[in-house]
Amino acid sequence: MATLGALTFSSQAQAESWFEVEVFVFERESSSLEQWTNAVAPKISDRAVDFITPLISTDITGVAVGLSGCSANDWSTEITPDCNDPLTSSTVRSHPSQVPFTIAASSEQQAYIGIGPLLLADSQSKFKDIIRTVSRERNVKPIVHLTWQQNMESQRRSTPVRIFGGKDFSKQFDYHGQQVSGQSQTESSYQLSMNDFSTLGDMTQTEQKKPVWELDGTINIYLSHYLYIENNLALRKPTQKLVESNRSEFNQFNAVNTKVEKTMKPFLQVIPLAQNRRVRSGEIHYFDHPQMGMVMQIRKMAQPTSVKPIDLSKPSYQAQPNSQSQSQSGVVQPYGQ
């Protein structure tokens, strides 16, 4: 058994190919003659890894239903499934109006065999000089910066990483850029019916309105003899859009005439940055765009050589008594396995 376990561990270690990724995205606050009237908001894959939401959002489920909410530590574990999915209907979370520029773990991290992508601490990043230089340029606004490590796989098995930042426009616009006219009649009726539970109703309605971030999308990196970066990002900017509306009026014969009027209305424009580029590790790559820019580097790193130790302080884990394999390896296995 010990020999079989060692062979399994060795084959898994050889199969994984870990790299370190650093990304810096900024906006160019300048006018452009290009128009993106037909661009649509990016569709975020359900499989995308989200480093940012657990760091910036607050779980208010406990406040809403009178129960204790998830802690920051619960988010990073697999033993609390409701906390690992910020989009589940049973989880109520509040978000800030602005995403911090630096997204990083609170302490330096170490990758282990078999785990998913790992967000690193700010001290483990290497773009400080680049960020300082770019930020000094005119009309440049830094949006988000983060560094992570991940095991690179084929395009079919690769997992995208969600990237978002900047302001939340959900109070003015919906996800597709249409202006929010205010609270709907259905929402008003719902809150009136809550009577003494009006505070709970307000929080529930707030959660149902998802953030509409200034920058949003995914970055997918995969390995196919070479490394490939597949970007699907979008920058949102408030603008004016010419829309048609019908206006009815009575003529002198008391007949109804319908006139089509064109008016300018506020609209949240989507400016896409979608590219697929073959890259080499170690090189600094710049993705240019009239309205934004992205600096990115994929670096070689020391490959993980061990499995993450089990945290014995977690109530879901306990040592198996009289376990021969435990006494030989010194590793405590999860209860029930």
Q: How confident is the model at residue 248 (pLDDT cuts 50, 70, 90)?
A: low
pLDDT, tens digit, 9 for 90 and up, residues 70-100 = 554 454 444 445 554 544 545 677 899 999 9
Q: How confident is the model at residue 282 (pLDDT cuts 50, 70, 90)?
A: very high
CB proximity list for 172: less than 8 A, separation 6 or greater: 179, 180, 238, 266, 268
How does the average pLDDT of the chain come out, rounded?
77
Mean pLDDT computed over 199-207: 43
Which pairing describes strands 140-151 and 102-103: parallel, antiparallel, or unpaired?
parallel
Residues 176 and 41 sit within 8 Å (Cβ to Cβ): yes
Q: Is 118 exposed, middle or buried (0-12, 13-18, 19+ CB in 10 A)?
A: buried
pLDDT at 189 > cutoff 90:
no
Tell me the percentage of the chain whose pLDDT exceeds 90.
46
End-to-end CA distance of the chain: 15
pLDDT, tens digit, 9 for 90 and up, residues 169-180 = 999 999 888 898
Q: Is 116 exposed, middle or buried (0-12, 13-18, 19+ CB in 10 A)?
A: exposed
pLDDT at 336 > cutoff 70:
no
pLDDT: is 167 or 6 the higher one? 167
Q: Residue 220: its pLDDT value, please?
A: 97
The highest-confidence range among 185-194, 237-246, 298-307, by mean pLDDT, is 298-307
Of 137, 123, 104, nearest to 26 by C-alpha is: 137
pLDDT at 258 > cutoff 50:
yes
User: What whole-number distance in Å separates Cα of residue 72 and Cα of residue 57?
Assistant: 10
Q: Residue 1: its pLDDT value, please?
A: 53
Q: Residue 252: its pLDDT value, please?
A: 60
Residues 205 and 190 sit within 8 Å (Cβ to Cβ): yes
**Confidence (pTM):** 0.72
Mean pLDDT computed over 292-299: 96
pLDDT, tens digit, 9 for 90 and up, residues 225-234 = 899 999 999 9
Backbone angles phi, psi at 203, to 5 degrees: -70, -40
pLDDT at 297 > cutoff 80:
yes
